[in-house]
Amino acid sequence: MKRLILATLAILCLSASASAFPDLQLYIPGATYETGGDDPETWIINASSFDLYVVGKADINDVLVSMALEGFGEGDDVSGVSILVNGVAYTNFAWGTPPMATLLSDFGDLSPHSVFPTWFTEFDAGDFGAVGGIGNTVDEPWDPSIDGYLAGSQTEGEYKRFTIQVIGAAGVHFDAYNLAVSPRGLTTVGNFAPYSHDAASHTPPPNGSTPEPTTMVLFGLGLAGGAVVRRFKK
C-alpha cells in the first residue's frame, strides 16, 4: 500500500511538472536573465545583433513573435526603426498591445506588462513539431545553442534560431504566441510564452558618447595638473 501511495505521488509530481512546462519560450544566447528592472524575468542582451531562439512544444502551430519597441511614445516617429529577421526588414509598426490581429478589438490581447502599449510589429515563426527533447531555459537551465536537443526529456518539441538586427531603437522586447478562436468566434491568444520566458535587447550607447564618471574625474585631474605645471614654468 505504501509503495502504491508513493508511486501515485510520483506520477502526480511528474504530471504537475509536465503541465507547468512552458508551451513556448524565448531565449538569447549570451543574454543575462534579469529578475528586476524594466524587463523583469526576461533574457536580456546588450547588443543590436544577436540570435533569438524560439522554443515550442510539439504540435503548436502558427507561432508569431512580436517585436515591441521600448522608449517610444505614441506620438513619436518610428519611421527610422527597422528590425531585420534573417535578413528581412520589418518596418510596419502599430501602436498598442499584440497581437496585430486583435488591434481593432478589445478582446484577445496579451496581458499587458511594463512595455505595453507601445509600437510593435511581428513575424511568423511557423509550426513546431516533435523534433527532439526540449528543456526549460530558465529553470534547468537549458541552452539550446549549446546543449541541442535533450536525450530522455519528457517534453518533445522544436527550437528555431532567428538572426536579429535592430536599427534605430535602443530596446526591443520579444513575445511569442499563437492565435485561437474563442467560443464567441473572436480572435484571441492561444498558446504563449509566459512572461518569465521572454527576451529583450538593449543597445548600448556608441563608444565615447557617455564617458564614465571615473574617466571624467581623471580627465579633470589631468587638466588641473597641467595648469599647475604651466604656473611653475612661469
pLDDT 10s digits, 40-95 = 899 999 999 999 999 999 999 999 999 999 999 999 999 999 999 999 999 999 99
Q: Largest Cα–Cα distance of the chain, in whole Å?
A: 100
**How do residues 154-196 score in pLDDT, each as one tens digit?**
999 999 999 999 999 999 999 999 999 988 888 999 999 999 9
Q: pTM of the prediction?
A: 0.80
